[in-house]
Every structure is written in C-alpha cells, then in structure tokens.
Structure 1
Amino acid sequence: MEEQDMFAGQGSAMINEMYQNWFLDYASYVILERAVPAVEDGLKPVQRRILHAMKEMDDGRFNKVANIIGQSMQYHPHGDASIGDAIVGLGQKDLLIETQGNWGDVRTGDSAAAARYIEARLSKFALEVAFNAKTTEWQLSYDGRKNEPVTLPMKFPLLLAQGTEGIAVGLSTKILPHNFCEIIDAAIKHLKGRKFELFPDFLTGGMIDVSNYNDGARGGKVRVRARIEEVDKKSLVIKDVPYGITTSSLVDSILKANDSGKIKIKSVTDNTAKDVELMVQLAPGVSTNQTIDALYAFTDCEISISPNACIIIDDRPHFVGASDLLKHSVQHTKALLLRELEIKLGELEDDWHYSSLEKIFIEKRIYRDIEEQTTWEGVIAAIDKGLKSYKKLFRREITQEDIVRLTEIRIKRISKYDSFKADEHIKGVEASIEEVKGNIANLNDFAIRYYENLLKKYGKGRERKTEIRPFETIQATVVAIANTKLYVNYKEGFIGTGLKKDEFAFDCSDLDHIIAFRRDGKMTVTKVADKTFVGKDIIHIAVFQKNDERTTYNMMYMDGKTGITYAKRFNVTGVTRDKEYDLSRGNPGSKVHYLTANPNGEAESVTVTLLPSSKARTKTFDYYFEELEIKGRSAMGNQVTKYPVRGVRLKEKGRSTLSAPQIWYDDSVGRLNKDGHGMVLGRFDETDRIIVFYKDGTYEVTSFDITNRYDADNVVLIDKFHPEKVVTAIYFDAKNKQFNVKRFVIESQTLKSRYTFIKDGEGNYLELVTLQQEPVVIVRTGKKKTELKEEIVALHETVDITGWKTVGSYLAADDMKELSLLPDAGEDASQREAPTLF
C-alpha cells in the first residue's frame, strides 16, 4: 500500500512537471511565434512570411491573393485562413502592400472579397525598406525545405507606422499607429540630437486627446472622438468613426443609448460612401449641444484606448514606449545602413581590384606569356610572373583565384579592349569608394539623408488625418436626459422609480443622485433606484449636483435637548453616498421647522409664530435669512428663539445673496466653463448673453449655458454681449478687390441664430472685428514688404455708425499687407485682439 502511495506521488509530481514544461513551451510559442512582433522589423511571423513569399513572387505585376496564400503556406504552418486574414490586414494599412479589388473597409466593417478575386503586390516603399538578401539572416522553414528570414532587414519603424495588436498567454500588446511623416521627422530629430514627440494617427480620422498618452507605454490612455457637426437645429452629422469602431457598431451604440433613454433621437441613417456620413435626426425640443455631449458620453462616438507596447527583444517580451521604439529602430536602421555600405564598399574594392588587374593583363600583354605553356600550372605561373612587377600597385594581394579569372577572358574582349573606357570605369569606381567611405565616416548624416529621401519619395498624401486637440470632460449626469419619473412616499420614507402608486416628484435620469431631507434634521444622498428607503417623514427631495456652491439651503430647526430654535444657511457640495448626515445639533427629538432650497443663494424673510402658552412677550416676529452667513452643513446656526415655535411661514421671497457666476471661454475646446480655464468673459446674471463673431463674417448671440459648443477654429471674437456696444468690422470684398470697414449696433438678437454682417460674395472674408468703442488701426500697404506705406486710422472718427446690413466704406486696396489694431488704453491686455498679418 505504501509503495502504491509512493508511486502515485511520483506520478503526480511527474504530471505536474510535464504540465508546467508543456505550458511554458506553449506560452513561449504563442508569444514569440504568433502574437507579439519582433522589434527588428515590427512584424509577426505570419506577416514576415507573407512579405517574404510576395518578394519571391515579385515581378512588378499584381498577383492573386489566393496564389500569395499558397506561396506563404510553404513557410507558415497554420492554414490559409490565418494567412488570408493577415494579408487583408496588411493591405488595409496601405503601406507595404498595394491592393487591387475589394479589400473591405475598416470604417464600415465590410469584409474583403474572396482571395481569388483580389490582387496585391509589394509597394515600392516595401521593396526599398524591407528587403536586402545580403543583410538578411536566414533560417530553415518549418519543413526544412526552404530558407526564410529570421527577421526582415527593415530600415523603418514599421511598428509605429502600422500599429499592432495581439493577445498571447499571460500578456498582450497594443501599439497604436502613428503618422508616417511625423515618424520620419522624429527619426531625423533624434539623429540630430533634438527632442521629439510622437502621437497616434488613424486612417479613420477623427479627433484624439493625447494628454494622458504616456508615450504609448503601459498605464497611458488616449480618448478618440468622431467629428459631430450641426447641420441644423434638428439634425447632426457624424463625419468619421473612432479607431477600431465601425459605422454599424456606432449606429448600434446610438440606438442602444436612445432605447435606454440616454439620448432622444428620431432616427439615425448611415449614408457612408466615399466618406463617412451618419445623419442623426433629433427628437422635437432636444438641444443639439446637449445631444452632441450625450453622444460622446453614452455612445461609441468617443472611446478610450489604453496602449500597451509589448515587443520581442532578444527572444523575450519587453514593455517600452513609442520614443524607445523609434530610438531602437533608428539605431537598427543605422546598423543596417552601415552593413549595406560595408558590403557595397567590399564590392567596389573587388571591382577596382579586378578592373585594374584586367587592365594590366591586357595592356601589358601578359596574356602572351601563356602561349608556350603546355600545363595548367605553367599557365598560372606565367601569369603570376608577368604580374610580379605590378603587385605593389594593388591594394590587396593577388590570389590564385584572381589569376584563374584572368584566364577566362575571351580573345574577343582582348581584341576590343578600350583603355580609355577602362580608365574611366576605374576612376568612377574610385570615386564611389571615396563616397562610400565618406558615408561610413559620417554615418549619422547619411542616415539623416536616407530618412529625408524616404519622406520626399513617399510622404505625399500621408499627412496627419487625426486632429490632436484636448477634450473637455463630459459629466454623464449633466448631459443625461431625464428618462424616468421619480415617485416619493413622504410619510413612510420611500423614493424610487417603481413607486407609481405614490406621489410623483419630478423627472430625472437613471444616472442621477437624489438628496433627501427629513423632519428630524437628517440628510442623505442616494442613487436613483426602483425603491429606496431614506427615512420616514421626508420634507424635501431633489436631484443632487456635486460641487454645487450656488444652491443654498435655508433651514430653521429646534434642538431636541434644549428646545432652542436655530437658523442656518449652508451648501451641500460633496457627500458620501448613502451616508446619513445630521444637520441639527444631533440630539434626539430635534425637529426641522422650515427648509428651502435656493438655486442662487436667495435669502427670504419668514414669519415665526410661537406657541400661545409661551412666556415670550411677542408671539409673532419676522426673521431675515439674509442676515446669516453661509457656512458648512455641520454648523449649529444662530439662535432664533428659546421659546417653543408653533410654526414658520414664508413672508417674502428674497433676492440672491451670491455674486453672479464668473464665466470663462476655453478656446482649446470651444467651451464655456466656471473653472478658470481660458479667457474670462465676466460675471453673468440670468438675463446676460454672449456674442460670438466668426471668420465667415457671421455673428450669433447665445446664452451662457455651460453646455454650449463653439467652433473654436473659426471664432474670431467672443465676449459678453452689451446691446449698446458698437461693432467695428473690416472685411475683404473680393469682387471689388478692396477692404471695407463698417460700424454698427447688433439689432437681431435671436438666440443661436447666425447672421451675416459682411457683404455676400465668393471670396469675401472677415479680416478684423472689435468691440472697442474708439478703435484705431495701423494700415500698411504696398507691393513690397520692404517698402510699405503706413497709415494710422481712427475708425470711430472716420466711419459712421450704420445698420448691420450695410456694405460699409472703403478702407484700403487689396495691396494691404498688414493690419494692426491698437490696444484700447483701458482694456485688459488679456482681452486684446492680436494684430493681423498677411
């Protein structure tokens, strides 16, 4: 029995050891042979084998992909399906492979046609950077019948250009694609010892926020957005898709958000053809700005991507950043270029050696010395003897192989030998040798010229497609549409969306949090749910806004221990969800007499009535909350009366005790904010508005709602709107080839309606607009910049105030080269318009 247990234990240990070894072998195989690319050429094995097979087949013409798959199967032992998918993936990246036929569309998710219908060939770029049999390290293919490259001699950071993604055993890799031209610029900067930055660029276009990219290393993140434009007040158009998202999946995410009530739309139509175009029709009464934000918040119009650059270096996986990848590639390219130069130098040295040897052999008639020789040894000896006096002219020793090669020269070549041409050839070879030696000595400069040549030959049409810009953070709870109804049972203390038999409170979103106050002075914040108990005797509930410093609560309560009534004013800015907070002094029997929530800090006056049995002389008196300072929610408050209170009722509504909120405009994202980002526009009361002027010569008046969106690239001037202020505008009249100036007061003030205030016409554009009341400009005119005529014009003195539809007055001809607006003496420097130079 003991022996059986012993053998069983040994068997278990053997199995464990076998499993561990086999698993490690399998994991290593998947990592090295399938999922993770090599740093030397940026290719996975299947991609490398495909390119090698295509090089073998290359004759300049297109080949059927089915034939390429067949050729690749000699090297890749994983079937035609995996090879076909890999070929399509390479072809869709439009760099190494030229395609013909239907190769699918990464934007729509449409698959490629069958392999027998589509064709491919290596691109000229691939032939230049990826292949050189003389510098390639070879290995036997899986069946031992052919040679295949260990890695291709890639002289370009392909990993950064194409990007890659793979899941192995225990690790994964995700390298985002970068812009072709920017990669080469970065490589040149690195070779010159200058700093560089690299950011992703996608063939699908869109916008990207790279503030947390972290150089593409682990822990980084990018946010990618589709472009959404307003067609009119009832429709939006989505112009592209984020990287990795298709139009069909994007439509599905929009419909899902609509079904769940996150957004409200009538329809979404996919009109994608050459360009992506998704038309979104909005539901009646829905704001375009809020819908755009909601699309980014709740659909795949915005996605977050976490790069994870894992590559194989020396047969082991390493985690690196984009800059490290580029630097490694540049050093690898330099080493390959050096190896190519050394090989070329050796070939040129051999050419010079043999050409010189042949010249002496023929011109000195050494070939005649072999006429009397009857043996092969005698022939070799005779030629060697004839060359003896010339050996000192050569750069290396003359070998027997060289002599044998001389014996292979035909009589016809000797008879037609041209000494002049031979000398010219040798001089050309000597010049090439010196050039190659110079390139080797200055390898860094040679590498720079190599990259510059790549950019010149292949950079056209490969400009950046994805716009880099910072994104504003969209709070989902702010843009969520009220898609559900909240009900409340005040007496029993329940709130929820499922209490339809109880009292309706208000509409809200299922993402909202609800703040609830009770008669005993307790407060809690909880998430919207089907049914939640928040405590009996509820006196107030509302949607809770985090960090809301304007909503002010006016409260009067009785302390249960002393019977004293206190009044307090406080904000609730941040709390822990589902935690109970005591707003009174915390004694049992405390009771709230009065509570109001005031969105702008209004401080009302109330009438306090005491019990008739109290000993107070005055049983009724008025109390003014405006006399109280706004403090924290845990403050005790000020004493109102020590006598028992019968009731408190509102006497008169109060005015706001808070200053108007200050608004800033952040031109990097085209949004308003209250956080101090960008340019301050001033303080805004409820009736205040914003005026915006655009490059196309239009203006619009808007509210100061934080959800407003502005086309930041086309905004010329944005400011607080003062109806009485005079607008001064200078624009170009293309038809008359002159610059006109006009001064007017804003008349049409319909919110969010664009009005054109310059003359209509093709080629007309706004040059300058200002709200200065006494604008003075410097006008510089002339045909040559070195001979400009300068004139100072006080526009408020020379131009009359007219209607906003007038053409205006002549200011300058089309030879105006510079236009500068002098700053107003009383103007804040941060608000000054910059001079216009053109």
Structure 2
Amino acid sequence: MSSDSDPKIAAQVENARIEQEMEQSYIDYAMSVIAGRALPDVRDGLKPVHRRILYAMHQAGISSGSSHRKSSSIVGETMGDYHPHGDSAIYDTLTRMAQDFSMRYPLVDGQGNFGSVDGDPAAAMRYTEARMSSIAEELLEDIEKDTVDFQSNYDDRTEEPTVLPAAFPNLLVNGSSGIAVGMSTNIPPHNLGEVIDATVKLIDDPDCGVEDLVDTRDGRGNGSDGPVKGPDFPTGANIVGKNAVHKAYTTGRGRIRVRADFEVTEERIVLNELPYQENKARLIKRIADDVNDGSLEGIRDIRDESDRDGIRVVIELKRNADPQLVKNHLLSSHLESTFGVINLALVDGEPRVLDLKQTLVEYLEHRKEVVRRRSEYDLAEAEDRAHILEGRLTALEHVDSVVDIIRDADDRDGAKAALREAYGFSEAQVDHIVSMQLGSLTSMETEAIETEYEEVQATIERLETILGDESELLGVIEEELLEIKDRYGDDRRTNFVENDGEVTREDLVPEEDVVVVVTEDDYVKQMPLSWFRAQRRGGKGIIGSELKQGDKVASVFVANTHDYLLCFTDRGQVYKLKTYQLPRPETRYTRGSALVNYLDLDAGEEIQAVVNCDDLEVNDDDDEGDEKFLTMVTRGGRVKRTNVDRFQNILSTGIRAITLEEGDELADVEVTDGRHDLIVSSERGMSIRFDEEEVRAMGRSARGVGGIDLREGDRVAGLAAVDEGRHDWTLTVTRNGYGKRTKIADYRKQSRNGKGLIDIKTEGRNGPVCTIETVGRGDHIVVMSEKGQIIRTAVDDLSVISRNTKGVTVMDVEDGDAVGAVSVVPAAVAQASDDDGDGDKDGDGDESAAEQ
C-alpha cells in the first residue's frame, strides 16, 4: 500500500535533505567513537572496554585474593554482558592491562604468556589466566555503596557503571592512548606517589598553579620543586631536558624526548633500559642493518642478554672504534624516541585538552562526589542501625513487661501490635524485638548493645560532619590517597638527563608551522604559516615570493620547523632533511636560497612531493596491524607501494625511491597503511578509486603497476589516500584556479588500471587539473601560483558539488599565470596558526587591499 493511499502512513513520513542527514549521522558516529570507545574518562582514566573488563571481573569475584581464571572466561563474561564488540578487542585490552612494560601499575595480574617487549604476541586466551591486581580493586572500592551512576547494558538485561569510584588518579598514573575521529590522545604514565602528592597539594592549596605542581628545577637548583617531576615510564629510560615536560603540563601538549639508559666503556656499549613502547627486537635489527650497510661503523657484534630481571643489550665495539662517536651515531638514529603528549580526555562526556592542574581538579571533583555519596549511604545505614538499637535498648529496659506482652499474645502479629501500642516501636523495631533470643537478655549482651549504640552514634556524628563541611570531606580524600601511596608507592624508574651540555641549532628553533616554497629553478625558503591568514575563496591572494625572470613555483607544502621531511624528486630519488634547515627570509618577498645548498640534486631535478616523517609513526595499539607504506604514482599512471622500513637510512646524496620508465616521472606520494583506498587523478579530469591492497608492496627499485589507463596525451596530476576516519571529501584544483569539493562516496570503487570516471570538466575556463587531495572538516588549503601569488582558504568555504562539474573559483589567477602547487593544512594546524597569527608578519606592514 502506498503512503498516498493511507493518510496515517503519510503523516509519519518525514522529509530530510540527504546532506544534512549524512552530516548528522557522521557526527553521531564520531561522537559515539569519541565517547564510547577511543577516549578515556578524566575521572577514572579508563575507556569503556577497560571499565567493563574490570567490572565483569569484580562481579565474577575474580579479585586479587582469588585464584586466576581463564582469560577466555573473562572475555566471555565481558562480551556477553557489557561489551559486544568482539573477543579480539577485549582480549587485546586485557593483555595490555597485564603487561608490566605497557602499564606503570598493571591492573590485571596475568599468568601465562602475555607478550614481550620484543613484540611477541600473547598466547591465545584459552591458554592464559588472569585476575585483578590489588591496585585495580582500589578503582572499584565502594562501588556497591551507590557512589557512581549506573546505566543499562547494551541489551537492557543488566546494568554497568558509567564510571568507577577510582580511589587514585588513574588517568595520570597509568596514562592512556587512543585514536578517535579527528582527534587522538596520548597521556604518559606517572609515578603514583608523585601524582598523589600533587593531588594532596591541590587539596591543601586550591589556588596553586601548574608551576607549583611541577618540579622545574634545573641543574643549578633554580625553579620550583613541585611534586611531579615528569612522566615515569614502566620501562624506565631517561627524559632529555625538562622544557618539553613543562610545556606538556602547562598546555596539555608537548613532545618529550626519551633516551635509552646505557653504559659506555672502551670495549662495549650496554643498553639497560629502552624508551617506552620501543620494540627491542626491532631496535636490534635496525642497528644491525645499519652496521651491515656501512652507515654505522665501529660495531663488531650485538647480543641480546635480556632475561626476566631486565633489559641487557650488549653492543661490542671494534678495537679501533671511538666509543663516543658510535654512541653519538646510535643516539641520533636509534636510542632516542619522541613521546607526543596529548592530554585529551572526556570531561562531562566532551573531549577536552587539559593541563596538569585541570586534570587533577576534575579528578578531585569526581572523588568528592564519590565520598559524598558513600557518606550518605553509610549515614543511612548507620541511622537504620541506630534505630534498631534504640528499640532493643528500650525493650531491655522494660524486659519483664515486653516478655509478658509477647507471652500473652495469641500470635506473632498480635505481639507486634501490642508492643507498638505499649512503647511506640516502629515496624522495623518490633520485627527485631520479637526475633530476639533469650540469650540476648543477659547483662553482658545489654552492655554490648549499649557500646555498639554509642559507636553508631559516633559514626553518625562523623558522617554528618563530613557531609556538612567540605574541608572534612577533603580531609577524608587526602587520608585515603596517602594510604594508597603507602600501600602501592614505589621509586621513580625514569630519570632526567641533560642534553649532553650542548646547545644544538634545533634547541634554538621554536616549533611552529611553516609554508615551504620550492621553485623550478631550485630556490627554496620557509615562511611562518601565520603570515598567511585565511581569506575567502576566489581572491587573488598576496605575494608569497618574488621570483627571478623565467622561474616558476614548483611545489608548496606545510610542515613544522622540527619535522623531518622526505623530499621526493620527479626522477624518483628521495632526500631527507629537517624543515628548520631551510632558509627563512626576513620578508615573504625574498626569493630564498638555492636548494643545492641543502640537497644534492642533479641538474634539472625538481622536488615533486614531500612527506612529513611524523606521518610515518606507527601506533602500537592499532588492532589491525602496524605497517606503513609510501605509495607513489608516476605521470604515466604507474602506482607502487613500499614499506617505510625501506627508507630508514637515507644518505645525504639521496636514495632511489622508484625506478622510472623512460620519459616518465614521479608525480605524487602519499603515506598509507594498507587499509586506505587510493584516488588517482589525471590532468584531463579523469579519476579512479581502488583498494590500496590491489597494489602489492614492492622494493625501492621496483617500477610499480598500472594504476590508471590514461588516454593519449593525458598525464597523472596527483594521488590522494582516503582515510575514512578523517576525510570527508576530495578537493580538485585546476591550473586556472578553479576547484571543487566532492563527497568521497561519489567515487565508486573500481579495479586498478581502469580508465576511471570524470572527476572535473577541464575544457574551457578550468584548464588541466593541478592536483587532487582528500580533506576533512576544518582543514585549510594553501594555493600558490607559478608567479608567486599565494592564498590560504578554508576548505569549508568551497562548495560541495558532484563529479563531472566545473567547480568554483578557488584563486583568481591573473592572465599568463597558473596554479603551481596546492597543500592541505590539517584542521588542528590551521586552528593553531589562526590562534597564534595576526596576518602580515613579515614586518613590512605592506598588505594592501589589492594584494588580498
């Protein structure tokens, strides 16, 4: 029956615009991932899966004092009652909570093979056993006393807590990491005693600042001596310097350098502790590979002598080797890692980046609520008990009369009614009195009841004081925290080291996001991104560079000054350098310096694509695997993938990234992880989308396989990788300054090496395609013309339109000019530069309306 024939059905039909429905559905999905899976709660420091595992163990009585239970049983209980997302995710989480090299204070006591620092996986769940650790029980303490809210589980069959009582600040103590939709968190673990001392300090002095909570003393004793010295990793090692730590605590973000702990002698270098989350076996293999290919000299042998007592990797030196020189090589390539702190957690269900004090304040608010609700529960219990004891004492005072009344009654109900009438007892009191045994009428029992009544009255008075005076309540919290510190506190494992007493150039360069411009005549320069504030689409932009006669802009990209960059040339070579090494002019009009001063390029060789090495970092918690690939496309339409491990050691003269056929050249490079779709776009507006895995992984010298079947005279313009967790649209920009945003879903997936679909019309005004990118909400783009005009605009300003259309004006390109390059500015970077920048920062004060 159609809805037109039934008014009741027609009345239930609701019209909606598909783009609005898709947007709202995506937002709902994103918030579900953010709040329900990926980010920890600031109150107990747990994600839902951690909380559910611990609660399931609690409900099953699998405590630290019980026997171990099969992990498969725990996983089954958790999945059946609380977390219906698959046994693999639950077991992986359970495994990590049992690893003493992953958790500073493990929440699970495991028995069996739960993995190793060499990256060995845990045994199957049917072989391992587990129970809660004693410190995990502190997170659940008093949960039966109505201290936290409960919610229905996924099938409304039972209930689960929305948060645990958490008797200590677990978020800071054990840290957390996770990737949500458009955001991620990475909180380092800390020493329990230091975090509790900081919490106590905040209780005693609520007006103290972050500076008062952090130990900022330098080698000469200058600075404050706050209780928190810095992260305390379960694998020990050393943190290099304190500036980054201080920044992380004051802003919620920072990049902390962690260095292995080692001993150097004339004959050997011995590694005793490794940076947090460093894979020992992979580290040894990387060092061995460097020795074998000649990039690391002076080493004759490497032995892994590690055992249950700790790490011990012995690096034997050659007789004539310089130990300090070898140490410096190892430090520069292998023995240091960067821990990127992002102190992002859920506060009232919303993600927020918090500094150290804010994190502790939120925890204290939660703990005050827990202790208040516990005290109310205990007070009600105590008052009920006092009421019963009052009835018993009254009955004992009139024992003969009470006995006579009970003896003369016809039945129990009659006795109860007579007692209520004679002495005004309540129903609860008479129930208790008629159930008393004759033995309780002795004088000794009477004295015991009187003593208990006095104790209950004292308890009631104490609880009423706690509930009526916040300082008393905070005193209870402080006392309980100090008890936990006494019970579980231990010494720091991670120490601090100075940066060898040397001030490097990098230490003098502030971290900031910059725009790097490279011209066809191989001139290069970097400029702060804040020099280019966002404008509305369709403008002429401003002068980004004054080029010499006949030169053109070849590429433009955005990077951080402290980032390592992989620079790929049109001839298939790849070079590596730091952004800060590039020249920064006083004004944006300056041409820059010759690129040959920084890279060993051949004559006529041009930079075609740049990859930020930060994009190559692997997330060890990724359930799907931890491989990353550099995926390349040539002008002739060939595509290849190569594992990033093949690019670990890049010589100053560069190394081969791809072998090109005669007449072909490299067009673009993207970082992928084996789970992306790829979109290849041609200059004549054709595009093809296919699964990344259709291109098998190859070595650096391989030529690749067919990605798109180009028509005669056509060439590849660019390559885009689809990250469905962050990207919503494709962005296509043509040489004449036109472009469009199109939903990724509009590009149906095909097999590789097909002719593809029409992406954008290139005839007439548009001209050939310059590039294609995948973008998300909040991203910006930087567009630069061949003659040096540059414009930065928000992706959201560009219309979302379908394929096979002409698009809108992105940049007003003058006659004789054309778009030379386009770079995407991620939303977080764009927001940061907008917050820091104020437009024209080149000092010349000349930013005329005509330029804008």
TM-score by length of 1: 0.52
Q: Distance in 1 between matches of 2:330 and 2:429?
A: 77
Larger strand percent: 1
Matched ranges for 1:105-504 at <5 A: 105=116, 107-131=117-141, 132-134=143-145, 135-193=147-205, 195-197=212-214, 198=228, 199-209=230-240, 210-213=242-245, 214-216=247-249, 217-232=251-266, 234-258=267-291, 261-264=294-297, 265-273=299-307, 274-283=309-318, 285-299=320-334, 301-365=335-399, 366-374=402-410, 379-388=415-424, 399-410=426-437, 413=440, 418-440=445-467, 441=469, 442-459=472-489, 462-472=490-500
> Which of these residues, 19, 37, 41, is aligned with residue 38 of structure 1?
41
Structure 1 residues 57, 179: CA separation in 2 closer, same or farther (over 3 Å shift)?
same
Structure 1 residues 12, 147: CA separation in 2 closer, same or farther (over 3 Å shift)?
closer
> How far is 1:467 from its partner?
0.4
Which protein is bigger by CA-based radius of gyration? Answer: 1
Matched ranges for 1:556-567 at <5 A: none
CA deviations over 1:732-774 (Å, ceiling 9, x no partner): xxxxxxxxxxxxxxxxxxxxxxxxxxxxxxxxxxxxxxxxxxx
Report the secondary structure of 2:213's partner residue.
coil
Report the secondary structure of 2:273's partner residue.
coil
Q: Distance in 1 between matches of 2:174 and 2:41?
A: 14
CA deviations over 1:336-384 (Å, ceiling 9, x no partner): 1232223222222222221121121233133533444458775444222
Q: Distance in 1 between matches of 2:186 and 2:164?
A: 21
Q: Distance in 1 between matches of 2:14 and 2:289?
A: 55
Counterpart of 2:84 in structure 1: which amino acid?
A: P
Counterpart of 1:458 in structure 2: which amino acid?
A: Y
What root-mean-square deviation, in Å, do the aligned CA atoms of Structure 1 and Structure 2 show?
3.3
Instruction: Please tell me whether the aligned partners of residues 268 and 280 of structure 1 are also in contact (alpha carbons under 8 angstroms).
Output: yes
Instruction: Please tell me whether the aligned partners of residues 477 and 511 of structure 1 are also in contact (alpha carbons under 8 angstroms).
Output: no
Q: Distance in 2 between matches of 1:22 and 1:439?
A: 46
Report the secondary structure of 1:251's partner residue.
helix
> How far is 1:262 from its partner?
4.2
Task: Tell me what 1:68 maps to.
Answer: 74
Instruction: Please tell me whether the aligned partners of residues 130 and 152 of structure 1 are also in contact (alpha carbons under 8 angstroms).
Output: yes
Query: Percent identity, aligned pairs only?
Result: 29
> How far is 1:115 from its partner?
1.7
Structure 1 residues 533, 54: CA separation in 2 closer, same or farther (over 3 Å shift)?
closer
Q: Distance in 1 between matches of 2:505 and 2:284?
A: 20
CA deviations over 1:767-800 (Å, ceiling 9, x no partner): xxxxxxxxxxxxxxxxxxxxxxxxxxxxxxxxxx
**Structure 2 residue 27 is the aligned partner of structure 1 residue 24:** yes
Instruction: Please tell me whether the aligned partners of residues 294 and 476 of structure 1 are also in contact (alpha carbons under 8 angstroms).
Output: no
Instruction: Please tell me whether the aligned partners of residues 166 and 174 of structure 1 are also in contact (alpha carbons under 8 angstroms).
Output: yes
Matched ranges for 1:698-737 at <5 A: none
Report the secondary structure of 2:243's partner residue.
coil
Structure 1 residues 239, 200: CA separation in 2 closer, same or farther (over 3 Å shift)?
same
Counterpart of 2:260 in structure 1: which amino acid?
A: A
Q: Distance in 1 between matches of 2:506 and 2:393?
A: 88
Q: Structure 1 stretch 342-351 or stretch 180-189: which is displaced more?
A: 342-351
Structure 1 residues 289, 510: CA separation in 2 closer, same or farther (over 3 Å shift)?
farther
> How far is 1:70 from its partner?
1.2
Instruction: Please tell me whether the aligned partners of residues 305 and 311 of structure 2 are also in contact (alpha carbons under 8 angstroms).
Output: yes
Q: Distance in 1 between matches of 2:243 and 2:74?
A: 42
Report the secondary structure of 1:355's partner residue.
helix
**Structure 2 residue 96 is the aligned partner of structure 1 residue 89:** yes
> How far is 1:26 from its partner?
1.4
Structure 1 residues 280, 11: CA separation in 2 closer, same or farther (over 3 Å shift)?
farther
Q: Distance in 2 between matches of 1:63 and 1:523?
A: 67
Q: Distance in 1 between matches of 2:199 and 2:256?
A: 23
> Which of these residues, 52, 56, 67, is aligned with residue 53 of structure 1?
56
Q: Distance in 2 between matches of 1:476 and 1:269?
A: 35
Which stretches in structure 1 are left out of the alignment for 5+ residues? 1-9, 389-397, 479-508, 515-521, 535-838
Instruction: Please tell me whether the aligned partners of residues 345 and 351 of structure 2 are also in contact (alpha carbons under 8 angstroms).
Output: yes
CA deviations over 1:10-44 (Å, ceiling 9, x no partner): 99973323322221221111111110011221111
Counterpart of 2:321 in structure 1: which amino acid?
A: V
Q: Distance in 1 between matches of 2:380 and 2:430?
A: 19
Q: Distance in 2 between matches of 1:477 and 1:167?
A: 29
Q: Distance in 2 between matches of 1:327 and 1:477?
A: 35
Structure 1 residues 420, 412: CA separation in 2 closer, same or farther (over 3 Å shift)?
closer
> How far is 1:510 from its partner?
9.2
**Structure 2 residue 114 is the aligned partner of structure 1 residue 103:** yes
Q: Distance in 2 between matches of 1:69 and 1:533?
A: 61
Pairs aligned (count): 475
Structure 1 residues 425, 21: CA separation in 2 closer, same or farther (over 3 Å shift)?
same
Counterpart of 1:150 in structure 2: which amino acid?
A: T
> How far is 1:61 from its partner?
1.8
Report the secondary structure of 1:220's partner residue.
strand
Instruction: Please tell me whether the aligned partners of residues 297 and 474 of structure 1 are also in contact (alpha carbons under 8 angstroms).
Output: no
Counterpart of 1:277 in structure 2: which amino acid?
A: R
Q: Distance in 2 between matches of 1:237 and 1:359?
A: 75
Structure 1 residues 510, 384: CA separation in 2 closer, same or farther (over 3 Å shift)?
closer
Task: Tell me what 1:765 maps to.
Answer: none
Structure 1 residues 373, 450: CA separation in 2 closer, same or farther (over 3 Å shift)?
same
Counterpart of 2:20 in structure 1: which amino acid?
A: E
Structure 1 residues 223, 206: CA separation in 2 closer, same or farther (over 3 Å shift)?
same
Q: Distance in 1 between matches of 2:351 and 2:577?
A: 42
Which stretches in structure 2 are left out of the alignment for 5+ residues? 1-12, 215-227, 508-574, 583-592, 606-852
Q: Distance in 1 between matches of 2:33 and 2:436?
A: 56
CA deviations over 1:537-573 (Å, ceiling 9, x no partner): xxxxxxxxxxxxxxxxxxxxxxxxxxxxxxxxxxxxx
Counterpart of 2:600 in structure 1: which amino acid?
A: A
> How far is 1:528 from its partner?
5.1
Q: Distance in 1 between matches of 2:301 and 2:597?
A: 34
Counterpart of 2:272 in structure 1: which amino acid?
A: K
Matched ranges for 1:644-655 at <5 A: none
CA deviations over 1:210-252 (Å, ceiling 9, x no partner): 31122444441211000222132x4211222111111112123
> How far is 1:257 from its partner?
4.0
TM-score by length of 2: 0.52
Q: Distance in 1 between matches of 2:183 and 2:259?
A: 28
> How far is 1:260 from its partner?
5.9
Q: Distance in 2 between matches of 1:102 and 1:123?
A: 17
Instruction: Please tell me whether the aligned partners of residues 53 and 71 of structure 1 are also in contact (alpha carbons under 8 angstroms).
Output: yes
Q: Structure 1 stretch 38-47 or stretch 429-438: which is displaced more?
A: 429-438
Task: Tell me what 1:803 maps to.
Answer: none
Q: Distance in 2 between matches of 1:470 and 1:294?
A: 18
Q: Distance in 1 between matches of 2:244 and 2:293?
A: 31
CA deviations over 1:485-529 (Å, ceiling 9, x no partner): xxxxxxxxxxxxxxxxxxxxxxxx997999xxxxxxx99971352
CA deviations over 1:136-193 (Å, ceiling 9, x no partner): 3222111221211111111211011111110111111111111111111111211121
Q: Structure 1 stretch 71-80 or stretch 344-353: which is displaced more?
A: 344-353
Report the secondary structure of 1:239's partner residue.
strand
